[in-house]
Amino acid sequence: MIYTLTFNPSVDYVMHPSSLNVGRTNRSSSEEYYAGGNGINVATILTELNVATVAMGIIAGFTGTFVVEALQRDGINCNFVELASGYTRINVKLNGADMTIINGMGPNIPISKVDELFQRLDRIGEGDTLVLTGSIPSCLPDDMYDIMMSRFGDRGIRFVVDAPGTLLMKALDAKPFLIKPNNHEVGALFDADPETPEEVLPYAHQLHDKGAQNVLVSCGGEGAALVDADGNEHTTITPPTRLVNATGAGDSMVAGFLAAVDRGMDYADALQFAVACGSATAASSGLAKAGTIERFYETLKSITK
């Protein structure tokens, strides 16, 4: 079973203004609402790929209720801790000529609710996977992922970490099964400016040497690179993609890689399937559907023979 954890989920309110003029009234031509959050995105793609998963995290208020109900409508198993006060945040995404995003802060999370979440996580054991992805609310310690992996680290659990900066680096001592920074996040870690899969490989090796078993680095339209658990290098391009919505593309790659590994694919094919998942989401108005993913995967295989 794959469990995903989202400490700070959201209601993503996407608006489509024809223009955006600061200080003036702007109008949207249409709007959509989605249950958002990195772990939720991973769980959504895994469910679409028929991989058994449970979405976990912390919710609050009527916005939290919306998140759970939206996930359940999509057939996603949920196990969220509910706060007594506050509201799950709303992220406003203005999708016009350029994407402008305003992310809400989210509720204050008392330690007692973190303890309740940990108690629910106690069911995870040998052979399960726990996906830790996204930022941590400012009310919690910035090494929360490291704390969790230390607590559950002796159970034979596969840990996956997709997080920025210090949060990622502090997690490496626990030897996570997979990490997935993008090329810009890698550049920030090493004071560099890698753009292509080939350029990120030396830094991926350093992250591998520091403890990560598999290091998957996305490079936007340039493709992606993987240093696998055996230290071998793999790179791939992206299939031809018309960008519609980049939100969730990285999370889709995480889900795709895990689904591919669970299907028994080798690492080279798992990388291509992960990139197909990310590209399919980038080409969709929301998270990708299974048919779109398979179509992108077949296209990628055909152009990289």
* Residues catalogued as catalytic: 251
Q: Which of 207, 198, 119 has the alpha carbon at shortest distance from 162? A: 207
Contact present, 211 and 249 (Cβ < 8 Å):
no
Strands laid side by side in the 158-162 sheet: 77-82, 53-59, 2-6, 129-133, 158-162, 178-179, 214-218, 224-227, 233-236
For 154, residues 6+ apart whose C-beta sits below 8 A from its C-beta are none
Instruction: Return the residue matching tokens 């991989």.
Output: 51
> What are the backbone angles phi and psi of residue 121, rounded to the nearest 5°?
-75, -15
Q: How far apart are CA 113 and CA 261, in angstroms?
A: 33
* Residue 266, Cβ density class (10 Å: 0-12 exposed, 13-18 middle, ≥19 buried): exposed
